[in-house]
């Protein structure tokens, strides 16, 4: 019987995964709405609040991760797969910060403050900057596409463990 992830790890994993899928999808839907309608503005706000929530959860998750042990890889896993898995997990941690931060700084560069749930004005760390705005918009887009590719690889690897290797790796992260 393999060691499982703790309940804390499982909650962080699936809560953040769910929020990322929802925020990513909303990002695509809202930017497709033509003009500047009230619905579009509402979706932009929801997107920003969800993105800031992901950033906060990612910070808590990283603190937790740096202070805990995680289950070892199965002994059947070759060294290159262990390195690939660790590298991909590191990249996913990096993107959990880089994606929301790029959206945050893009919003500030457009001269728009981020007001969390319409209640709490978050720090305005940079001034409005019309030259930087299109650059950060592209950065937010391409970091998102990198995250899409990394998540697709992560899901494919989990399915390979489940369906081909049948080594119980996926089950360790299931509630
Ligand atoms: C993990 C968190 C996030 C994900 C997965 C995400 C994803 C996306 C995606 C897929 C788009 C559409 C890009 C396009 O088609 O051009 C987008 C756009 C956008 N995001 Fe995010 N985002 C996140 C966090 C944030 C945060 C924290 C903010 C700001 C506080 C933000 C602000 C924006 C804005 C303003 C746009 C519209 C870009 C435009 O003007 O066209 N995002 N996001």
Q: Is the pLDDT of residue 165 over 60?
A: yes
Whether this prediction's pTM lies above 0.85 is answered by yes
- The pLDDT tens digits for 138-150 are 999 999 999 999 9
Instruction: Report the distance separating Cα 54 and Cα 16, nearest Å.
Output: 6
Minimum CA distance residue for ligand 1 atom 13: 141
- The pLDDT tens digits for 15-25 are 999 999 999 99
Res 1: pLDDT: 54
Residue 61 Cβ < 6 Å to ligand 1: no
- The pLDDT tens digits for 69-125 are 999 999 999 999 999 999 999 999 999 999 999 999 999 999 999 999 999 999 999
Residue 98 Cβ < 6 Å to ligand 1: no
Extents of the domains making up the chain: 7-173
């Amino acid at each position: 019987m393999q060691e499982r992830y703790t309940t804390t790890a499982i909650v962080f994993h699936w809560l953040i995964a769910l929020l990322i899928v929802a925020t990513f999808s909303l990002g695509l839907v809202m930017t497709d709405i033509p003009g500047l309608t009230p619905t579009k503005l509402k979706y932009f706000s929801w997107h920003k609040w969800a993105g800031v929530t992901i950033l906060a959860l990612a910070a808590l998750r990283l603190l937790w991760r740096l202070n805990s042990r995680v289950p070892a890889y199965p002994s059947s896993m070759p060294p290159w797969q262990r390195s690939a898995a660790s590298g991909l997990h590191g990249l996913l941690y990096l993107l959990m910060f880089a994606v929301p931060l790029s959206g945050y700084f893009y919003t500030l560069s457009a001269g728009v403050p981020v007001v969390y749930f319409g209640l709490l004005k978050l720090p305005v760390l940079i001034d409005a900057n019309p030259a930087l705005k299109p650059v950060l918009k592209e950065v937010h887009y391409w970091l998102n596409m990198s995250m899409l590719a990394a998540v697709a690889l992560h899901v494919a690897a989990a399915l390979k463990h489940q369906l081909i290797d049948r080594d119980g790796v996926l089950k360790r992260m299931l509630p």
